[in-house]
A and B are shown apart, each in its own frame.
Chain A
Amino acid sequence: MRGEDLKLFAAIIQKAASGRTCALATIVGTKGSTPRKVGTKMLVDPADGLLGTVGGGCGEADVIAAAREVIEDGVPRLVEVDLTKDLLSWSPAVCGGIMEVFVEAIPPTGKPPTSGE
């Protein structure tokens, strides 16, 4: 078990109990060299900000944008983050890989997920 996951799970449980919808981003697939591996998670709370990181830099900005949409409409998304571009930008995201990040809403406990037709 990645111990950092335990902290994140504790946060998920606590956020869901707070009655606010947050978003969870998980790296579910990678190709090439990526800053973080499969299974890495980031929690996006519209009120409190981020917990954890899926890699930092421009890639993470795409994930945060997707998280906002997911919190808005409740529909999960699979986001492809391409880190092969901008090799010469001095962003910490310059690693050269591609990762698939699954972004889903964490609805408040006791309320069913809003995904579906």
Chain B
Amino acid sequence: MTDPVISAVSAEIIVAALHEGGRAAALVVVEGPRSVLGQRILATALPGKDAEVHGELSDPIYAAQARELVLAGCSDDPSAPAEGMHTLASTTDEARSDGSLRVYLELHSPQPELLVVGAGHIAQPLVALGAMLDFRVRVLDDRPEFATHERFPEADEVLRVDFSDPFKEIPIHSGSHIVMVTRGHKYDYECVRRLMLSPVQPMYVGMIGSRRRVRATFSQLLDEGISRERLATVRAPLGLDLGAETPAEIAVAVMAEIVLLWRGGSGMPLADRERVLERFFTEDA
């Protein structure tokens, strides 16, 4: 019989799985008899492979259920169990005073990636903010004098690519955030076209530009037969309306939109949403 997995080993397994673009689900017993309290098992699923369970709860009454829960947790099925507390009920008829366990299920998907396409002025603060927000950051350009580590000390990778096929060497996945800040319309067009032709739907695709530039790109792509539905997933022009002017301000507006979509916020100023003074303090008391 295998044992439960201790926390440090669990961390190693999760980090290794995520590094390979896989997913992981970990379960720990947070309430229950002392004999199983704190025990942990996990499951990992690497791309294109069957999921694997690591460890086993020492109490056979709960071991199978725990296995099922972590296996379900690391599938990318929308019906996968949610992160948080779950209860494992005793599966035997024997009356036990400690008839159930409370377990905490934690789900891990690959680290979100920020891909900055175009290594100009706006790319610099974008890369810095992306790193600060814990994205794995890559920046690409076709100009060797721009695509340098010196210009992007915070980037995980700085790549020189040919804009006619910019994502050839870069795997795009559902956790990719792609921000297009190239120097010209024809590059944007080529990049968006490549993304639209791929079956993979990245988490975020945004393109900078004036209304005119965005319109020209969209018009060309629609003419080429890219569907309206697919094109509607492109955020263009990108970013929140902050009235941003400088490259740093624009980068804040872009990253604010990414955080907003990631966390599911409204984008509204909280003071305007809550209106505490207006709602809770009448004018003439």
Complex Cα distance, B134 from A7, in Å, reads 9
Complex Cα distance, B110 from A97, in Å, reads 30
Which of A53-61, A83-91, A108-116 is the contact stretch? Answer: A108-116
Given A1-B112, A3-B135, A26-B104: A9 and B15 within 8 A (CB)? yes
A residues in contact with B84, CB < 8 Å: 28-29, 38
Our count of residue pairs bridging A and B at CB distance below 8 angstroms stands at: 95
Q: Does B53 contact A (CB under 8 A)?
A: no
A residues in contact with B135, CB < 8 Å: 3
A residues in contact with B183, CB < 8 Å: none
B30→A28 contact, CB < 8 A: yes
A12→B83 contact, CB < 8 A: no
Closest A residue to B7 by CB, please name it.
A106
B residues in contact with A113, CB < 8 Å: 4, 6-7, 38
B residues in contact with A16, CB < 8 Å: 7-8
Q: A6, A10, A39, A105: which has the most chain B beta carbons within 10 Å?
A: A6
Q: Does A98 contact B (CB under 8 A)?
A: no
Complex Cα distance, B84 from A17, in Å, reads 28
Q: Does A4 contact B (CB under 8 A)?
A: yes
B37→A76 contact, CB < 8 A: yes
Closest B residue to A29 by CB, please name it.
B85
Given A6-B15, A24-B7, A39-B106: A115 and B111 within 8 A (CB)? no
Closest B residue to A5 by CB, please name it.
B108
A12→B34 contact, CB < 8 A: no
Q: Does B133 contact A (CB under 8 A)?
A: yes
A residues in contact with B85, CB < 8 Å: 28-29, 100
Closest A residue to B8 by CB, please name it.
A16
B37→A1 contact, CB < 8 A: no
A residues in contact with B31, CB < 8 Å: 78
A13-40, CB under 8 A of B: which get 1 and which 0?
1011100000010101100000000110
A residues in contact with B11, CB < 8 Å: 9-10, 12-13
Closest A residue to B133 by CB, please name it.
A3
A75→B7 contact, CB < 8 A: no
Q: Does B12 contact A (CB under 8 A)?
A: yes
Complex Cα distance, B105 from A39, in Å, reads 9
A residues in contact with B39, CB < 8 Å: 115
A residues in contact with B4, CB < 8 Å: 113
Q: Does B1 contact A (CB under 8 A)?
A: no
A residues in contact with B175, CB < 8 Å: 1
Given A1-B112, A10-B15, A29-B84: A76 and B8 within 8 A (CB)? no
User: Which A residues fall within an 8 A CB radius of B?
Assistant: 1-7, 9-10, 12-13, 15-17, 24, 26, 28-29, 38-39, 75-76, 78, 100, 102, 104-109, 112-113, 115-117
Would you list 27 pairs from A and B whose C-beta atoms are within 8 A, ordered by A residue? A1-B111, A1-B112, A2-B134, A3-B112, A3-B133, A3-B134, A3-B135, A6-B15, A6-B18, A6-B111, A6-B134, A7-B134, A15-B8, A16-B7, A28-B85, A29-B85, A38-B83, A75-B37, A102-B104, A106-B6, A106-B7, A107-B6, A107-B8, A112-B6, A113-B38, A115-B37, A116-B35
Kindly list 19 other residue pairs between chains A and B, CB separation below 8 angstroms, not including A6-B18, A113-B4, A115-B37: A1-B18, A1-B109, A1-B112, A9-B11, A10-B15, A13-B11, A13-B15, A16-B7, A16-B8, A26-B106, A39-B106, A76-B38, A106-B6, A106-B8, A107-B7, A108-B8, A113-B7, A115-B34, A116-B35
